[in-house]
Structure 1
Amino acid sequence: MSIDETFDESFAAPADAGQVDRAAGALQENGFTVHVVDTAEQARDLVLGLLPTDQAVFTALSQTLRSVGIASAVDESGSFVSVRRLAGQLADDDLDGKLRLGATPDVVVGSVHAVTEDGRLVVASASGSQLGPYSAGARKAVWVVGAQKVVSDLDTALRRVRTYSLPLERRTWQAQGGDSFIGKILIVEREFLPGRGTVVLVREPIGH
């Protein structure tokens, strides 16, 4: 089946204010710290203010982080201890070393592919490299989530992953001569350590 045959563009539409508010409330009940902002610029300023400058920060690969300038601010400005910059100092063939650096950072910042109105996070990955720090490897996790990723329930979240997020990712990789697939899916039901997980919900669409 071709990418176009599986693509559901309806998942690009942002959730309404009520859906975002319900997701925010449910996330808080599930142990997450939640911030709701109106714009991508507000999300960027908030997240950069939350990140420590003296601890290792890993930016998970994310169109959301790239589009709002968080990835470049962390990895290129010199103001943060960037795991990606540290990994770049290792030998090109030291894949294990690079993976270990990303597996247990002090802080991971990234996004997810869907958030349900009952407060669950869903993220898919080909390699799974960001799923370890998301679930437990990082001492703190920060996720930035656009309003188009808020969906009604888990079934809809998984459908969004397969019929919207994956096709977009495949298009990106195929334009570069590669491809993508779903290797692993993480569903975060709740956070068991107070203050570990922070979700920044944005009332406009950002990222995929």
Structure 2
Amino acid sequence: MTVQAPELDETFSAPADEARLDRAASALRGNGYLVHLVDTAAEARKLVADLLPRDRPVFTASSETLRLSGIAADVDESGEFQSVREQAGDLGGDVDARIRLGATPEVVVGSVHAVTEGGSLLVASASGSQLAPYASGARKAIWVVGAQKVVPDLETGLRRIRGHSLPREWRRLNDKYGQTSFIGKILILEREALPGRGTVVLVREPIGF
């Protein structure tokens, strides 16, 4: 981990225009994902509540998008869903238990750090805890993604992770907990083999990082 905050590239904060969103949505559908395009985070929150099952365990991956939109609270605090986190209770300092907690849920809901116009999803993690359910551990996966995360290609997506997502997370953790962050693992999802498994909710406004 770096002692000083990584340099922040704010150019990755700007939302993609409608043409780029449409290209990404079309490519994602071609790669086997279900795609919903909504105007606001509030609409995404309502949609996700409608998409999530009430009779199966749901795991909320750590995500500022889920926190800021209220989706994490809906799942973990409302009592309406079978929340994996709520059922697990306080795991305290057991890092291994927290990493394993969401490895194979029935359903995972989270976000990613970049979506390419070619229909790939990129997500980085320090521990890698959300990568297992994203890749294949969960029977169903839902990702809520702000428009500022749409990028032209994989190379730009990786630059966004290192130049924007990591610095923002580094600063968030440092300000809130006096801790820092780093990139331990990066997952690239290029195509979904199982019909109906993966759903991407693209939000026309920026949310998360």
Aligned to 2:168: 168
Distance 2:178 2:96 in 1: 25
Seq. identity, %: 66
Deviations 1:135-182 (A, max 9, x none): 000000000000000000000000000000000000011121111000
Aligned residue type for 1:149: K
Q: For residue 194 of structure 1, give the secondary structure of its aligned residue in structure 2.
A: coil
> Offset at 1:196?
0.2
Distance 1:166 1:87 in 2: 28
Aligned to 2:69: 68
> Offset at 1:60?
0.4
- Deviating above 4 A after TM superposition, structure 1's stretches of 4 or more consecutive aligned residues are 93-98
> Offset at 1:192?
0.3
Q: For residue 194 of structure 2, give the secondary structure of its aligned residue in structure 1.
A: coil
Deviations 1:14-45 (A, max 9, x none): 00000000000000000000000111111100
Aligned to 1:51: 52
8 A contact 1:87–1:98 mirrored in 2:
no
Aligned to 2:148: 148
TM-score (norm 2): 0.95
Instruction: Tell me the C-alpha RMSD between the 2 structures.
Output: 1.4
Structure 1 unaligned residues grouped into runs of 5+: none
Aligned residue type for 1:25: S
Distance 2:114 2:38 in 1: 17
Aligned to 1:107: 107
> Offset at 1:92?
3.5
- Alpha-carbon distance change, 29 to 180 in structure 1, aligned in 2, over 3 angstroms: same
Structure 2 unaligned residues grouped into runs of 5+: none
Distance 2:82 2:134 in 1: 18
Distance 2:74 2:10 in 1: 30
- Alpha-carbon distance change, 98 to 182 in structure 1, aligned in 2, over 3 angstroms: closer
Q: For residue 65 of structure 2, give the secondary structure of its aligned residue in structure 1.
A: helix
8 A contact 2:99–2:127 mirrored in 1:
no
